[in-house]
Chain A
Amino acid sequence: MRFGIFYEISVPRPWGPETERQVYANCIEQCVVADQVGFDHVWAVEHHFLEEYSHCPAPEIFLATVAAKTQQIRVGHGINVCVPEINHPIRIAERSAVLDLVSNGRLDVGTGRSATWTELGGFRANPDLTKATWSEIVRALPKMWMQERYAHDGVCFSMPERAVIPKPYQKPHPPLWVAVTSPGTEIDAAEHGIGALGLTFNDFAEQERRVKVYRKVIANCEPAGAVNEQVATVNFLYCHEDNKIGQQTGLRLAGTFGYAAAQLVSAREVYASPSYASFGLLPQVRRASAVPGEAPGAPPGMAVGDPKHITEVLKGWEATGVDCVNFLLNALETVPQQEVLDSLRLFAREVMPAFKKDARASARVAAE
């Protein structure tokens, strides 16, 4: 069981001249501490136009900065939007390779297709096509990295033979993942032989069922590149010596996140398409309340409270078969920076020792 931290980089209004700079500085400081205390991953999203919720359109730049200030922690681009109107696949391959080189081989490459009309509409992308473009791009990326020269004649893009350079430091290439929000995407992950980067809460039983399906399907997959058999899930983290304070603060964090997420326009909301069967973006948290003004309760399995409680919760997740839990540490800066750092340190001191790092680390991909 490994632990990561996950960034949307949410920026609360009012936006003064220092606000965004300070939020970025806080996130980088958290990453440095996370590296020092033994977290395994830092993931940063790619989102566009999502006011307050995520001011992180260029995670490769954020992650390059993190890599330069840290020693061990892996940096995860979570995710590259594999929609040609947003990212040309050649640019994804190039940027990823450079980030892998400058981080000394610490990159994980997440892929996905965006869940919001705010983003897809902003780039004039067709929501009906994103699943297909994602698959085509995911199968092309490893070839761009592994082959000396590469040519592609596909549906969503084509290119004459060229050398896509530089090549990544990790061989044959950095681990590939896909963001899993819609039910069934874990099967897509398995069929492509890539990691399932869970971005929604499920209950324990549903998570266990999905992990089992994933393991079964990936055993017979047609891999896009080197197989990366890993399942990660996402959670909130606030750890405090006092369980009540930990839960109260954690619920405030989760509630703030859900509130900000609800202000986005999901693809499902406005563009009727079988391509978008779910909202994405942690919808369970915001759906829990039935009437405006009623506070949603804490979903079971949320990692907020004292170390003992969080350890029990994470043992539950471990039992579902997930390899990694990635934590959101803050939302709209609702938790003061010092408390976030204290929470990280307490978690590392009191909770981490109860979990043995699985030998199935990302390095396995390199070994293969």
Chain B
Amino acid sequence: MPIYGGHTPTAAGLPEIRALAVDRIDIEAAQTLTFTFEVLSQAAIAALPAALHPPFPTYCSLVVRRHDDGPYGAFTTAELRLHARATNHYVGYCLGAFSDNADACAWLRNAYGLPCQPAETVTLRKRHYGFEARVVAGGRTVLDAVQATPGFISGNDILYVQNSNLAALDGVPTLIAEEFEYAIAEAKRGAAAFHALDVAAFGGPTLTVSTHLPSTWTGGSWSYMPVRFVIDPTKPAMAGTRKLGQPAAA
């Protein structure tokens, strides 16, 4: 059987779930800039909880999403996701995230378990040379990246993987399934260029970035969905998945 992750989490420091999301939140205008890169496998496997399998090659995506509206006003997030499998499902396991809107940040922590921290600057801007993302946190620039000379592609060519966030649910470490729906109105692809990429600041202190892949940008709508299921991070997802409203597996 496939390899499992090697991380055994404790509740300390995890986002505390106050109330899991039960409503669908529709955001009509959202832009998503994604940088994808391979990371060396040994540290990646060690960073994943035991519920998840690493794919090979192990890889991350750094996702910057600008929401021009939201339950707490406009906000932009930047998330580092280490990609994995929950049984045979693709998931992006969040190592760390920042937002420029403290209220939105708290909402994402409380309702979806996103390990989000407020930051001074989290931006996604269109420039004459492409799309630019910047994150300044604690006085340091932890992300300064560009998708250069983007060209149009079809929205059908883009695949966004559902998210999995490690949080404390009733004081117990739990993987929260952060699911979404999206409709892409416009999509572009271009080369990724980095002036700053601090994966340690995004919760991946042991990760080593290797191969970069092309970056994508999309514009369209984005919907945060109610949380349908959670996973015990210490058990294989086949045994540790619980649909909400059902009792935990023995």
Q: Of the 9-residue stretches B65-73, B103-111, B129-137, B210-218, which lies at the interface with chain A? A: B210-218
Residues of A within 8 A of B88 (CB): 258-259, 261-262, 286, 289, 292
User: How many A-B contacts if CB must be within 8 Å?
Assistant: 94
Nearest CB to that of A13 among chain B residues? B1
Indicate if the CB atoms of B56 and A263 lie closer than 8 Å. yes
A121 at the interface (CB under 8 A from B): yes
Indicate if the CB atoms of B55 and A265 lie closer than 8 Å. yes
Indicate if the CB atoms of A273 and B57 lie closer than 8 Å. no
Q: Number of B residues contacting the other chain (C-beta, 8 Å)?
A: 40
Indicate if the CB atoms of B90 and A49 lie closer than 8 Å. no
B59 at the interface (CB under 8 A from A): yes
B229 at the interface (CB under 8 A from A): yes
Indicate if the CB atoms of A121 and B1 lie closer than 8 Å. no
Given A272-B153, A272-B187, decide whether A332 and B36 contact each other with a Cβ distance below 8 A: no
Given A121-B211, A263-B2, A291-B243, decide whether A269 and B159 contact each other with a Cβ distance below 8 A: yes
Given A271-B213, A272-B214, decide whether A259 and B38 contact each other with a Cβ distance below 8 A: no
Query: How far, in angstroms, from A289 to B216 measured CA to CA in the complex?
Result: 28
**Complex interface bits, B23-66 against A, C-beta within 8 A gives 1, otherwise 0:** 00000000000001010000000000000010111010000000
Indicate if the CB atoms of A292 and B159 lie closer than 8 Å. no
B7 at the interface (CB under 8 A from A): no
Residues of A within 8 A of B53 (CB): 263
6 A-B pairs with least C-beta separation:
A262-B88, A293-B241, A292-B237, A292-B86, A292-B87, A286-B88
12 A-B residue pairings within 8 Å (CB atoms): A13-B3, A121-B57, A121-B213, A259-B1, A259-B87, A261-B88, A262-B85, A262-B87, A263-B55, A264-B56, A271-B213, A292-B238
What is B's interface to A at a CB cutoff of 8 Å? 1-3, 36, 38, 53, 55-57, 59, 83, 85-90, 153-154, 156-159, 161, 187, 189, 211, 213-214, 216, 228-229, 231, 237-241, 243, 249
Given A263-B85, A265-B57, A293-B87, decide whether A272 and B158 contact each other with a Cβ distance below 8 A: yes
User: Which listed residue, B56, B83, B153, B157, touches A49 by the CB 8 Å rule?
Assistant: B56
Given A292-B87, A292-B237, decide whether A272 and B161 contact each other with a Cβ distance below 8 A: no
**Complex interface bits, A208-230 against B, C-beta within 8 A gives 1, otherwise 0:** 00000000000000000000000
A35 at the interface (CB under 8 A from B): no
User: Which listed residue, A121, A262, A274, touches B154 by the CB 8 Å rule?
Assistant: A274
**Complex interface bits, A121-161 against B, C-beta within 8 A gives 1, otherwise 0:** 11000000000000000000000000000000000000000
Indicate if the CB atoms of A118 and B2 lie closer than 8 Å. no
CB distance from B237 to the nearest CB of A (A): 4
Chain A residues 246-292 with CB under 8 Å of chain B are: 258-265, 268-274, 276-277, 286, 289, 291-292
Indicate if the CB atoms of B36 and A270 lie closer than 8 Å. yes
Query: How far, in angstroms, from A124 to B48 measured CA to CA in the complex?
Result: 27
Residues of A within 8 A of B1 (CB): 12-13, 52, 259, 332
User: Which listed residue, A49, A258, A277, touches B156 by the CB 8 Å rule?
Assistant: A277
Nearest CB to that of A264 among chain B residues? B55
Given A270-B59, A293-B241, decide whether A260 and B154 contact each other with a Cβ distance below 8 A: no
CB distance from A261 to the nearest CB of B (A): 8
Residues of B within 8 A of A258 (CB): 88
What is A's interface to B at a CB cutoff of 8 Å? 12-13, 49, 51-52, 117-118, 121-122, 258-265, 268-274, 276-277, 286, 289, 291-294, 332
Indicate if the CB atoms of A13 and B2 lie closer than 8 Å. yes
Q: A258-B88, A259-B1, A277-B157 given; name 20 further pairs at CB < 8 Å.
A: A13-B1, A13-B3, A51-B56, A117-B57, A262-B90, A263-B55, A264-B56, A265-B57, A269-B90, A271-B213, A272-B189, A273-B153, A273-B157, A274-B157, A277-B156, A292-B229, A292-B237, A292-B241, A293-B238, A293-B239
Residues of B within 8 A of A271 (CB): 213-214
Query: How far, in angstroms, from A269 to B156 measured CA to CA in the complex?
Result: 12
Residues of A within 8 A of B214 (CB): 271-272
Nearest CB to that of B187 among chain A residues? A272
Nearest CB to that of A274 among chain B residues? B157
Nearest CB to that of B216 among chain A residues? A272
Query: How far, in angstroms, from A263 to B55 measured CA to CA in the complex?
Result: 5
Indicate if the CB atoms of A293 and B237 lie closer than 8 Å. yes
Indicate if the CB atoms of A259 and B228 lie closer than 8 Å. no
Residues of A within 8 A of B240 (CB): 293
Query: How far, in angstroms, from A118 to B55 measured CA to CA in the complex?
Result: 9
CB distance from A270 to the nearest CB of B (A): 5
CB distance from A122 to the nearest CB of B (A): 8
Residues of A within 8 A of B189 (CB): 272-273
CB distance from B65 to the nearest CB of A (A): 16
Indicate if the CB atoms of A274 and B153 lie closer than 8 Å. yes
Nearest CB to that of A255 among chain B residues? B88
Residues of A within 8 A of B158 (CB): 272
Residues of B within 8 A of A270 (CB): 36, 59, 213
Residues of B within 8 A of A292 (CB): 86-89, 229, 231, 237-238, 241
CB distance from A208 to the nearest CB of B (A): 25
Nearest CB to that of B249 among chain A residues? A293
Residues of B within 8 A of A291 (CB): 89, 228-229, 241, 243
Nearest CB to that of B56 among chain A residues? A51
Query: How far, in angstroms, from A293 to B177 measured CA to CA in the complex?
Result: 13
Query: How far, in angstroms, from A257 to B249 measured CA to CA in the complex?
Result: 25
Query: How far, in angstroms, from A194 to B143 measured CA to CA in the complex?
Result: 50
